[in-house]
Every structure is written in structure tokens, then in C-alpha cells.
Amino acid sequence: MKSKYDTKGFPWHLPPTRPERDLSQAMERLYNKYPTPRPEDNPLFTSFKYTEVKGFDYGKRDGKISRRDPSKIICENGRYYIWYTKRDTISPPRGAELCTDKIPSMDWDLSEIWYATSEDGFTWQEQGVAVPRPKKPALGWRAVCTPDILVWKEKYYLYYQAFEEASGTKGDNCPVTVSYADSPEGPWTPCGHIVVDNGPEGDWDQYSVHGPYPMVVNNQIYVYYKAALGVRPDYLVGNGLAIADDPLGPYTKHPLNPILNSGHETTVFRFGKGIAAFAIRNGIEANTIQYSEDGVNFDIAAVTSLMPVGAGPYIPDIFTSEGEGQGFTWGLSHFCDHKAVNNKFSFLGRFDCDLQNKIPRSKVANNTDVIHDPSVFFAQGLSDELRQQRSQEAQCIALKSRNS
């Protein structure tokens, strides 16, 4: 029977451009949906390498000291600056029921915003607190956390989550506020009001505006953020966008929000003529790097793995609208032992990648063959209950097969 398709075999050498022949949907997508057919040629594909950093003390690593959710990194006065959530409490997190004025509910409860500097990005010196918790009832009295930095007209703005109740009391409910300074060293002045607020009742972001991530696009301030839709643990995380002409607002949320359908934490960067973003987890497009011409309408540009959690990259051109976006190659992210029960804390580490907008790619980009130690797989074990259930199901089938 004659096939309705052009049946000549697909070439052994992957053609760099779409070959003139019928293609399956997957091969069609390879040429039409992605920037290049081979991941290693695609400037938005990268693998990630991780290095432990020096300079942060975690005491006895018993959950009392935690550092997480680092900001973007900036380079000024001959050194790199980073801000992050720091918790130093009398006990590890104990959940919303057991928390007190001194005992945290979650890893980021009762936290402050601290900063550190480095000359090489591997060894850091913790400098001290940038934004302390203000006295009750000022905004953020319960916790200030998850900061990010904007440099705008020679001033510095820290955006962060400001809690007025322990996280976990009613979800992870907090709006975003800002402190500003004339130098990255501070002193920081709280603006004292909500700058990006939760959405109206019933909207996708009604309970949270998390991980505010300011950058400059077309001489305006774009603040990307994330919010969780639905009830934990089966929730989805979307990313939204709020735009303003002044760092302190007023901000207008984009009418097409959410603009990413997946992606815990926000990592966005200028890339070529457009804007790229990470979608790391929680959602159908987890483990992707996405691209948009306009910062709003994103498409998957690359699928990758082992993406940095809460990434704070060093992006030299993040606060300018000039020229094409050059991308970035490194940053800090956080790590947490989620299985820890009584000593949960997070710590900062470094990631390297190759998201520079240029060819040839560096060795860091690697390919999609990311091999993990077997312990990584077995760390994702079945719960005892599921293991028992699976074992009983298998035994039933085996028994039936014996009796038939």
C-alpha cells in the first residue's frame, strides 16, 4: 500500500533547518517551536551546575538559623551584593499551631532581610541586617522576607514580602512593600505602605503576591511575582506582572495575568529583543525556560532539569532598557532538606549556567543528559502507605494469574 506520507528515511545527521518532507508532530515542533533543534545550540537551553559557597554560618545546623530566597545580585564598588531572608530563632519552625512570638511557624516566619558581599561569587561576607522586622503593628512586624533589588535613578529599592500574621495561619498571606536607600549599604527607609497588594477576593492572587522581582523594561518598572492558585498541597503556581512608572507605585496588574502557568519563585531576565523566565516547579510547564517578545506572552523555549530554587542571578543589564538582553551565567539559590521534621532550615549555594545570548555555547550549557547519583532517585521514595498499597495490588494480580 502506498503511504500518504513522504517515506524517505529521516536523515541520520539532524538537519539544522526543517527538511522539506512530511514530519511527525514532534519533529515539526522541533523546528517550529524551539529556537534551534538541538538543545546545545539553543541559547535558552542550559543545564545547571552547583557549588557550595563559603562564608555563611548555620550554627549547629539544627534548624534555628536559615537563609533563603536570595535577591538578584548586583555589582557595585568592586564587589557583589546580595540580600536574602535570614531567620535566627530559638527553635526550628513548628507550624502555625505551635508558633509563638519567638517560635516560627514556617522557615521564613520571624525573619529579617540581611545582606552579604563577595569579590568572586564563591566566598561571601555577611554584612548584617538590611531591613529588620519593624515594631508591631507596622507592616511586616511578623516577618519580612523574600527580598529583591531594583536600582533606579541612582537609588536602591528592596521589594519584599511583609507578614502581619504567622505564615500558615491563613495560608501564606502577605502583600509586598518596599524600603529604599541611597547606597546598597543602606540605611534603608521603609516606605510604610503596601506597594503591590493581593488581588481582589476570588482572583488567582487573592491570598498572595510572593517573590516580587523588579526589573526595568521600556523605561518602566516591571514587578513579576508569583501566587498559588487553589488549595495546598495540590496547588498550581502562576506568575503575574505589575507595572509602574515609579518604584513606589501605583502598580497596575497586567489584565492577562497570570502570564506563566507554572513556576514557583520568579526569575526573569532580558534576553535578545524580549524577556525570558524560569518556570521551575508547581505546574504543567515545570522545568522549562520560556521566552516572550513582550514580557507577557511566553512560550516554552527550552526544557531542562535541576533548576535552581529561588534563584537570585547576577544579570548585568537587568536595570536598563538599552540594547539587547545579554542573559546571565550565575547566581545564588537556596537548598532545603524538605524531609527534615524537627530541624528544617535552608541554606544558600551557587549555581552556574549558560544563558548568555551568544554562540558558541560554553561547556556549562552541556546537554540534556544530566546524570544523578542513585541517592537522588531513592530520596523520592514511596510513602509506607503507598508501598503497602502497591505491594497488595501486585500480590492480587499474581494470585489471580496463579488461579486462572
Note whether 145 binds ligand AAL by CB under 6 A.
yes
Cα angle vertex 182, ends 317, 128, to 5°?
A: 90
Binding to ligand AAL by CB under 6 A, coded x per residue (else -) over 41-80, reads ----------------------------x-----------
Q: How far apart are CA 196 and CA 193, in angstroms?
A: 9
Please list the residues that pair with 268 across neighbouring strands.
277
Measure Cα distances from 156 to 152, 193, 197, 236, 300 in Å. 7, 17, 21, 32, 32
Q: Which of residues 358-397 bind ligand AAL (CB under 6 A)?
A: none
Q: Least distance from C-beta 172 to ligand AAL, angstroms?
A: 5
Task: Report, in Å, the least distance between residue 159 CB and ligand AAL.
Answer: 12
Q: Is 140 exposed, middle or buried (0-12, 13-18, 19+ CB in 10 A)?
A: buried
Give the DSSP letter of residue 389.
Answer: H
Instruction: Please give the size of the binding site for ligand AAL, defined by CB under 6 A.
Output: 11
CB of 346 to ligand AAL, least distance (A): 9
Q: Which is nearer to ligand AAL, 73 or 145 (CB)?
A: 145
CB nearer ligand AAL, residue 265 or residue 354: 265
Under DSSP, the state recorded for 365 is G
Q: Binding residue for ligand AAL (CB under 6 A) from 205, 265, 317, 354?
A: 265
Residues 209-238 touching ligand AAL, rule: CB under 6 A, are 210-211
Q: What are phi and psi of 251, to 5 degrees?
A: -100, 140
> Which residue in the set 71, 117, 146, 290 belongs to the binding site for ligand AAL (CB under 6 A)?
146
| CA 7 to the chain's CA centroid | 45
How far apart are CB 66 and ligand AAL at their closest, in Å?
Answer: 11
State which of residues 48, 108, 160, 225 lies at the interface with ligand AAL (CB under 6 A). 108
* Residue 115 touches ligand AAL, criterion: CB under 6 A: no
Nearer to ligand AAL, 225 or 298 (CB): 225
Write down the least CB distance from residue 138 to ligand AAL, Å. 19
What are the Cα distances from residue 347, in Å, to 57, 295, 327?
A: 9, 31, 25
> Which alpha helices (DSSP H) does 64-190 contain, by range?
none
Asked if 298 and 291 count as a contact pair (C-beta separation under 8 A), the reply is yes
Nearest partner of 145 among 130, 135, 155, 157, judged by Cα: 130
Among 172, 205, 317, 354, which residue interacts with ligand AAL (rule: CB under 6 A)?
Answer: 172
Q: How far is the CB of 119 from ligand AAL (least distance, A)?
A: 28
In the complex, which residue's CB is closest to ligand AAL?
146
Query: For residues 158 and 180, is the Cβ–Cβ distance under 8 A?
Result: yes
Comparing CB distances to ligand AAL, the nearer of 268 and 365 is 268
Which positions from 316 to 355 touch ligand AAL by CB under 6 A, shown as an x/- string? ----------------------------------------
Q: How far apart are CB 336 and ligand AAL at their closest, in Å?
A: 9
CA dist., res. 186 & res. 206, Å (int)? 32
> Could you tell me the smallest distance in angstroms from the CB atom of residue 83 to ligand AAL?
13
DSSP-derived secondary structure letter, 297: S
Helix (H), strand (E) at residue 385: helix 384-403
**Which residue's CB is nearer to ligand AAL, number 163 or number 291?**
163
State yes or no: cis peptide before 39, omega within 30 of 0: no
What one-letter code names the amino acid at 69?
A: D
Residue 39 dihedral angles phi and psi, to the nearest 5°: -55, -35
User: In the complex with ligand AAL, which residue's Cβ is closer, 111 or 366?
Assistant: 111
**Closest CB to ligand AAL among residues 112, 172:** 172
Give dist(CA 218, CA 137) in Å, integer: 37
CA dist 82 and 147 (Å) reads: 10
- Which residue's CB is nearer to ligand AAL, number 43 or number 310? 310
| CA 364 – CA 246 distance, rounded (Å) | 38
Give the nearest distance from C-beta 86 to ligand AAL in angstroms. Answer: 12
Applying CB under 6 A, among 310, 313, 325, 331 the residue interacting with ligand AAL is: 310
The answer to the question of residue 196 lying near ligand AAL (CB under 6 A) is no
Residues in the site for ligand AAL, rule: CB under 6 A? 69, 108, 145-146, 161, 172, 210-211, 264-265, 310
